[in-house]
Amino acid sequence: MLSSIGIPGLILILMIALIVFGPSKLPEIGRAFGRTLTEFKAAAKDLTKDEQDDKDNAPALAQTANEGTKRV
């Protein structure tokens, strides 16, 4: 994601953030961004885990569905 920005682009983004938010707000914004990124990564990992669990349980669910239709 950040590999296409490069060092000059990153410096430009940081300078603009410094001008817009000021030096006192920048650490707070960085911490909030870090927390948000961590939560996003955890949610994405949880979604992929749930998807994998669904794939693992699919044969058992199909068998249960087939048993339900046999009884009717």
pLDDT digits (tens, 9 = 90+) for 22-68: 889 988 988 999 999 999 999 989 888 877 776 776 676 666 766 66
Residue 40's domain spans which residues?
2-71
pLDDT at residue 32, as a whole number = 93
The structural domain count of the chain equals: 1
Q: How far lies 16's CA from each of 3, 9, 11, in Å?
A: 19, 11, 9
pLDDT at residue 57, as a whole number = 67
**How many angstroms from the chain centroid is the CA of residue 71?**
43
Tell me the pTM.
0.51
pLDDT at residue 12, as a whole number = 93
Q: Decide: helix, strand or coil at residue 27.
A: helix
pLDDT at residue 31, as a whole number = 93
